[in-house]
Structure 1
Amino acid sequence: MSVTGFIGRALLASIFIKNGLDHLRQPEPIVRAARGAEIPEPELAVKANSAVMLGAGAMLALGVAPRTASAALAVSLIPTTVIGHPFWDREGRERQQQQTQFMKNLALFGALLAVGSRR
């Protein structure tokens, strides 16, 4: 693996590691969003998603099974994006902010697909 590839993977992984830790430390806002989206067992769902972000993020950063780690992160990003950033039912500035976060997550999803498809 090249130095730039290593740095790129580590930088991509950093947001997942940070958010995984943050959501484990302070799950309440995320649990509320999951409850509002009628996710069964929202506390467990948030803990599981946080563990995936933290564990797969660390794996990706370290280059341990990067294809598997990228796939796990990409899958976890889908409900996070749809539930966490529903710009379609917001208005004004809040709609713009949520749409920006939604698009950022789509960009992360694309980066994970690119990393996961490398041989």
Structure 2
Amino acid sequence: MTMQSGSYSLISRLDEVATNSANVLILIGRILLAWVFVGSAYGAITNLSGSVGYFRSLNVPAPELFTATAVALEVIMSAGLILGIGTRYCAILVFLFVLIATAIAHRYWEYPAGPQQAGQYNNFLKNISIMGGALLIFVTGGGWFSVDRKLAR
């Protein structure tokens, strides 16, 4: 067996696994993407004054309303993605939510070089990745294991 045929065999096998596991992997992907918002909403609810204070420090107008809106959206997006209900709408909502959150809270270029800038840059990159995941879910939809599929029948 040559190296080339071994590589082809591995790639072929990976393609087969991906095809045969697509619906389970879409479900896992939806749950993993949603989990960041579950954690964020939980953190904001359990430390409401800290969340409001954080948004106040960013000079967000009406930080109490902003916090309440963010938490409500995080709960809606999480539930929709996990259950696969309104999956494509939730995916676009995630994309827009994270785009706005990134523009408001992770402007790393405004920080002096150092640990704070590095932390903000990492958050910026994480958010760009989340936006990419949201676009992939928008394209794939909820998959087999979703309320969307049950409703479409």
* Same fold, judged at TM 0.5 (above): yes
Q: What is the match of residue 145 of structure 2?
A: none
Larger radius of gyration: 2
Does 82-91 or 106-115 show the bigger shift?
82-91
In 2, are the aligned partners of 1:70 and 1:116 still within 8 Å (CA)?
A: yes
Matched, 1:56 2:77: yes
Q: Decide which of 86, 94, 99 is 2:116's aligned counterpart.
A: 94
Q: Decide which of 36, 45, 48 is 2:57's aligned counterpart.
A: 36
Q: Provide Cα deviations, 1:36-58, integer angstroms capped at 9, x if missing partner.
A: 33322111111111111112111
- Given residue 42 of structure 1, which amino acid in structure 2 is its aligned partner? P
Q: Secondary structure at the match of 1:40?
A: coil
Q: Decide which of 124, 128, 132 is 1:106's aligned counterpart.
A: 128
- Given residue 102 of structure 1, which amino acid in structure 2 is its aligned partner? F
Unpaired runs of 5+ residues, structure 2, are: 1-21, 142-153
**How far does residue 73 in structure 1 lie from its aligned partner after superposition?**
1.7
After the TM superposition, which residues 12-31 of structure 1 pair with which residues of structure 2 at under 5 Å, given as runs?
Answer: 12-31=33-52
Q: In the aligned structure 2, how far is the partner of 1:34 from the partner of 1:21? A: 16
Q: Secondary structure at the match of 1:15?
A: helix
Two-structure CA RMSD over aligned residues (Å): 1.7
Q: In the aligned structure 2, how far is the partner of 1:30 from the partner of 1:80? A: 13
Q: Say how many residue pairs are matched.
A: 119
TM-score, normalised to structure 1, is 0.88
Q: In the aligned structure 2, how far is the partner of 1:34 from the partner of 1:23? A: 11
Q: Provide Cα deviations, 1:41-97, integer angstroms capped at 9, x if missing partner.
A: 111111111111112111101111110111122221123222222211212111111
